[in-house]
Structures are given as C-alpha cells and as structure tokens.
Amino acid sequence: MMLDFFKRIAIVAVMAVFIGLLFIGGRSASAHQLPTDSTEQWAWPVLGRVTDTFGTRQGNHKGLDIAAPYGDQIYAVEDGIVKKSEYTGSYGHAVFIEHPNGYETVYAHLSTRKVQEGEEVKKGQIIGDIGSTGNSTGPHLHFEVHNGEWNSARDNALDPFFVLTNEQILVTTHMERERVEMQRKLENLSKGYNYIEESKEELVKAVIIENKGGNVSKITIKEGETLWDLSVEYGVSIHLLMEWNKLDSTILQVGQTLYIYHDDKSTYVVKPGDSLSSIAEEVGLTINEIKSINQLVDDLIYPDQVLVIEKS
C-alpha cells in the first residue's frame, strides 16, 4: 500500500516537471515569433558593403552594418510612423520607425536626419543620409529590426537578413520595378484578356549619355569588380552608379558595360598619406570648410573615404 502511494507521488512529480518544461519551451519559442501580419521581404534602405552582421561582438551587435559613401541617401523600408528622431551617444543621429505589421526599424549613425518624431513616412521616403556619428569608425548605416517596440535591452531584435531581400536591391528601385510590373498587368487587362504570369525577360535598358558638365568614361566590368569598388575608385555613390546605368540590382556581370560621369569638383577619394591639410591645399578649400561640408567632428580620415569638396 505504501509502495503504491510513493509510485503515485513519483508519477505526479514527473508529470509536473514535464508540464513545466513545456511552458518554458513555449515561452522560448514564442519569444522570436514574427508578427502574424508579417511583411514580405523588404528591399534595402541603402546599398553598400556589409561590414558586420547580427549577433557578433559576443552577441551584442543587434543589427546589420552597411558601409556606404558619406552622404548617400537612406530610405524607409516600409510605411510607418517616426517614433524617435534624435541624437544619442552610441547611435549618433538615429531614426526609429514603427510599422503597421508590428516591426520597428532603427537607422543609426546618420549624418543628417530628414524626418521628425511623430511624422508619417512612406516606403521609399528619404529619412537621412549616411554618416559616422555616435560610436562609429567610418561612414555606414547601422540597421536594426525589432519584433515589437525597441527597448534598451534590445531583446526582441531580429537578424535583418530575415526580412531583407537576398540580393541588395534599393527600396526605390524595387518600388519602380513593382510599378512597371503593375503597369504591364493593367495594359494586358485593358486589351481584354487576363494577365498571365510570364517567365521573366531581360528588359532592354538604353543608357542615355547626357551632358553632365564633365567627361564620360565607358568601362567594362572585370572579374571580381563590385559597385563598391567603382564607387571608391571614381568617387561617386553607388546610388548614382545605379541611376546612371539604369541598374535594378547590385550584381554585376563580367563584360558588362557601365558609364561613369566625371565631375571632378564634387568629390575627392582619400588616398594613403592624405591629410585634411594636404587635401584642403589641393582642392582650394580650408580645413574647416571640408569638415563643415562633410560634418566631420575631428581631423580623422582614412583611405578610400569619399569626401564632398563642392560648396553647396
């Protein structure tokens, strides 16, 4: 009789432990569930070289770092409301946007902020420019995605690669692609027949050579070359390279032809051994003018950095 009693006690204890583990597991699983009204994959807020990813630095890096030329425009990846637009010691100039699907995105280390707290923003709207403010060692965007509201522990942060397109496509380029596709569907419907999804075709892209006030170079892409390499070599932004050549992707093909519009007075690519003093003397500006135009907080520059040297 006593033996049966202890057996029952043991069974109850085992069941209690099992149920407890189920609850713990359930909480763990739900902690990183995506919102039920989840977004489709987002196009990228800026184009550049990924220099750091989610979860590095002993798990303390909660976002994606995208290096890009100073002053490149940054776009909202989706419609939303600006929750915060402020300067902090770590993030520098930063914009926080709440989206209808439950996500919150963070754009940090900006040189300038183009939106205010409480402002309604649209997908593809310019919200700031690439900079190196706050705890930063060079011009880049620190991009975070949160499942719910941002908090100081950042314990609901998600890897941005989960929601960004696999290839780098600028959000404005993606929107234009969607607009063209919708227009094609409407044209087909207007002809009296249902739209049928066709296999993707290569669009014929004519590059119109315009007079930009400078020389134009025709270059052929070599193996291993990237838009980032060309941006550094010619001192122009990736955004401009894509705009000039009507590119809808950052992927380049060997043998592909691109056009570069030279405007020698607008930018300068820092070379090894350069200093602000030597650059100022070369381009005919003062050190303070260069620092003001580029919003530099000190005299620190580094090779391949793109400086704007044209007064606005």
- Location of structure tokens 């989840």: 38
Q: Is the dihedral of CA 41, 56, 228, 103 positive or negative?
A: positive
Under a CB-based contact definition with an 8 Å cutoff, are residues 27 and 93 in contact?
A: no
Instruction: Report how far residue 158's alpha carbon sits from residue 141's, in angstroms, rounded to the nearest whole number.
Output: 16
User: Residue 23: what pLDDT?
Assistant: 39
- Location of structure tokens 């994959």: 41
User: Residue 260: what pLDDT?
Assistant: 82
- Location of structure tokens 């029952």: 8
All structural domains of the chain, each given as residue ranges with its CATH number in brackets, are 49-169 (2.70.70.10), 267-308 (3.10.350.10)
Report the alpha-carbon angle 37-142-165, nearest 5: 45
Nearest to 94 by CA among 149, 137, 148, 140: 140
User: Residue 122: what pLDDT?
Assistant: 92
User: Residue 217: what pLDDT?
Assistant: 77
* Distances from the Cα of 133 to the Cα of 107, 126, 165, 241, 259, angstroms: 12, 18, 27, 25, 32
Q: Which long-range contacts (CB under 8 A, 24 or more apart) does 294-300 make?
A: 294/70, 294/71, 295/111, 295/112, 295/131, 295/133, 297/133, 299/275
What tens-digit pLDDT sequence spans the chain (312 residues)? 555 555 555 555 555 544 444 433 333 323 344 444 445 689 999 999 999 999 898 888 999 999 999 999 999 999 999 999 999 989 999 999 999 888 999 999 999 999 999 999 999 999 999 999 999 989 999 999 999 999 988 889 999 999 998 888 888 888 887 777 777 766 665 554 444 444 333 332 333 333 334 457 788 888 888 888 888 887 777 777 887 788 877 888 888 888 887 654 567 777 778 888 888 888 888 988 888 877 777 787 776 676 777 765
Under a CB-based contact definition with an 8 Å cutoff, are residues 136 and 52 in contact?
A: no
Nearest to 66 by CA among 241, 250, 308, 294: 250
- pTM exceeds 0.75: no
User: Residue 16: what pLDDT?
Assistant: 54
Helices (H) and strands (E) in the chain, counts: 6, 14
Instruction: Report how far residue 64's alpha carbon sits from residue 158's, in angstroms, rounded to the nearest whole number.
Output: 10
User: Residue 70: what pLDDT?
Assistant: 92
Instruction: Report how far residue 79's alpha carbon sits from residue 123's, in angstroms, rounded to the nearest whole number.
Output: 5
The set of residues, in sequence order, having a beta carbon less than 8 Å from that of 190 and lying 6+ positions away, is: none
Instruction: Report how far residue 257's alpha carbon sits from residue 239's, in angstroms, rounded to the nearest whole number.
Output: 17
Q: Which DSSP state fits 267?
A: E
Report the alpha-carbon angle 118-123-124, nearest 5: 115
User: Residue 178: what pLDDT?
Assistant: 77
